[in-house]
């Protein structure tokens, strides 16, 4: 059977007014059903660009991205995005309408079925109390929870999260990380998560792909992160830090994906 998501020697470039910038160079990885796959790297490693390519907003210059064996062409509701920006919720719709809207627009569900399903997911993220409020009355953390509920309600093949907690304060961020893990325990959805925080990657991820910058290339692949005890996690954090910030050439840069077993 085809893998859920395959990114195959993917080179991504984007054009600015003055130059064509290579964001990633021949990056390959694959995500299996139920993975919490984290793309981790410093800024400039192309992790967000990579996620946008999986989302279908950018076409690869080289290589291919496949979902269940089919090449990605264009954005689609089988890959729901959760963005970092708080304005990803449509301000003219209430919380419930925001979650129900894609169900109606993309899944063509009836108004009633969509509302019922949306309510179920709004309850899941504990926002029943504000279900009929407009997004501007919500805190940043609540808005991100709505965005997650919206993504989950669509039951996509894969949920794409682009630094969803980066704009939150530190306390809320920790709370949201715990909540995401709890939701995952509940439904075991597949998630591709982009972050620049090593701690967040270890906490959230079951697998971590380390990318080095300029252009983004795979530096290492960390497996079985989920079961790490605090001591192991602390060691792992140090190890990843060294890997990311060691001068290139020290630890096998340019080699294909190097497996790191925690």
Q: Which is nearer to another protein, 147 or 236 (CB)?
A: 147
Q: Which is nearer to another protein, 80 or 201 (CB)?
A: 80
Contacts of 240 (CB under 8 A, 6+ apart): 40, 198, 201, 202, 208, 210, 220, 222
Residue 106: CB minimum distance to another protein, A: 5
> Burial code of 109-141, b = ≥16 C-beta within 10 A, e = fewer?
beeeebbebbbebbebbebeebbeebbeebeeb
Q: How far apart are CA 189 and CA 185, in angstroms?
A: 9
Residue 109: CB minimum distance to another protein, A: 13
What is the layout of strands, in order, in the sheet containing 158-162? 79-82, 158-162, 191-195, 36-40, 207-212, 217-223, 259-261
Residue 164: CB minimum distance to another protein, A: 12
Q: Identify the DSSP state of 200.
A: H
Q: Which is nearer to another protein, 194 or 198 (CB)?
A: 194
Query: Residue 158 forms beta bridges with which residues?
Result: 79
Q: Which is nearer to another protein, 192 or 244 (CB)?
A: 192
Residue 203: CB minimum distance to another protein, A: 23
**Helix 95-105 and helix 140-153: axis angle, to 10°?**
30
Q: Which is nearer to another protein, 75 or 232 (CB)?
A: 75
Task: Return residues touching another protein (CB under 8 A).
Answer: 55-57, 74-77, 79-81, 83, 85, 87-88, 90-92, 101-102, 105-106, 134-137
Q: Which is nearer to another protein, 25 or 145 (CB)?
A: 145
Residue 143: CB minimum distance to another protein, A: 12
Residue 31: CB minimum distance to another protein, A: 18
Contacts of 168 (CB under 8 A, 6+ apart): 140, 141, 144, 176
Q: Which is nearer to another protein, 75 or 111 (CB)?
A: 75
Residue 10: CB minimum distance to another protein, A: 19
Instruction: State the number of CA atoms in the 13 A half-sphere of 153 facing the CB.
Output: 32
108: left (phi over 0), alpha (psi -120 to 50) or beta: left
């Amino acid at each position: 059977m085809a893998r859920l998501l395959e990114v195959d020697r993917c080179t991504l470039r984007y054009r600015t007014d003055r130059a064509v910038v290579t964001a990633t160079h021949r990056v390959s990885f694959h995500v299996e059903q139920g993975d919490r796959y984290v793309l981790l790297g410093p800024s400039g490693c192309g992790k967000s660009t990579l996620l946008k390519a999986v989302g279908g907003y950018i076409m690869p210059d080289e290589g291919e991205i496949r979902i269940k064996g089919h090449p990605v062409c264009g954005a689609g509701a089988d890959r729901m995005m959760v963005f970092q920006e708080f304005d990803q919720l449509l301000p003219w719709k209430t919380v419930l309408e925001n979650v129900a809207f894609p169900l109606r627009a993309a899944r063509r569900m009836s108004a009633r079925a969509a509302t019922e399903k949306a309510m179920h997911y709004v309850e899941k993220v504990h926002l029943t109390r504000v279900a009929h409020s407009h997004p501007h009355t919500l805190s940043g953390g609540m808005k991100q929870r709505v965005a997650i509920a919206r993504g989950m309600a669509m039951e996509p093949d894969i949920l794409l999260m682009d630094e969803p907690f980066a704009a939150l304060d530190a306390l809320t961020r920790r709370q949201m990380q715990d909540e995401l893990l709890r939701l995952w325990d509940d439904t075991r959805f597949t998630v591709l998560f982009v972050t620049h925080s090593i701690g967040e990657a270890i906490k959230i991820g079951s697998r971590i792909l380390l990318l080095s910058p300029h252009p983004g290339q795979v530096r290492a692949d960390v497996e079985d992160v989920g079961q790490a005890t605090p001591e192991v996690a602390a060691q792992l954090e140090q190890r990843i830090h060294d890997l990311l910030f060691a001068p290139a050439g020290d630890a096998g840069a340019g080699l294909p994906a190097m497996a790191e077993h925690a």
